[in-house]
Amino acid sequence: AQSVTQPDIHITVSEGASLELRCNYSYGATPYLFWYVQSPGQGLQLLLKYFSGDTLVQGIKGFEAEFKRSQSSFNLRKPSVHWSDAAEYFCAVVDSSYKLIFGSGTRLLVRP
């Protein structure tokens, strides 16, 4: 069965520092991969997606992610974090029935 693992429950970075959130997936074929962000008290918002083609994908709010098939990873990165990036981030994969399967999330804390 398809699954997504986000190994870091919490990550704390200083404002202005770079960020990398890890995501590993389990899927036999070429996966459809996504990153979503959830601000406190809100629903989830799509940051970026990977379907095929260029393995480095750009998203909103200055985020990017790189698909690495050999490592079954789809890590999210941002070169310089802003205090407003503090939120929970979810990696997700579309399964064989076209449903979205989410990881357990990584909560990002930003130090001033």
Partner 1 sequence: DAEITQSPRHKITETGRQVTLACHQTWNHNNMFWYRQDLGHGLRLIHYSYGVQDTNKGEVSDGYSVSRSNTEDLPLTLESAASSQTSVYFCASSQGGDRTGELFFGEGSRLTVL
Nearer to partner 1, 41 or 112 (CB): 41
- Note whether 88 and 9 are within 8 A (CB): no
Which region among 21-29, 55-63, 71-79, 86-94 touches partner 1 (by CB under 8 A)? 86-94
- Residue 22 CB, nearest approach to partner 1 (Å): 14
Q: How far is residue 85's CA from residue 59's CA, in Å, rounded to a whole number?
A: 14
Q: How would you class 14 by CB atoms within 10 Å of its CB: exposed for 0-12, middle for 13-18, buried for 19 or more?
A: exposed
Among 30, 45, 58, 80, binds partner 1 (CB under 8 A): 45
Q: Under the rule (CB under 8 A), what is the footprint of partner 1?
A: 6, 9, 32, 34, 36, 41-46, 49, 51, 90, 92, 94, 98-105
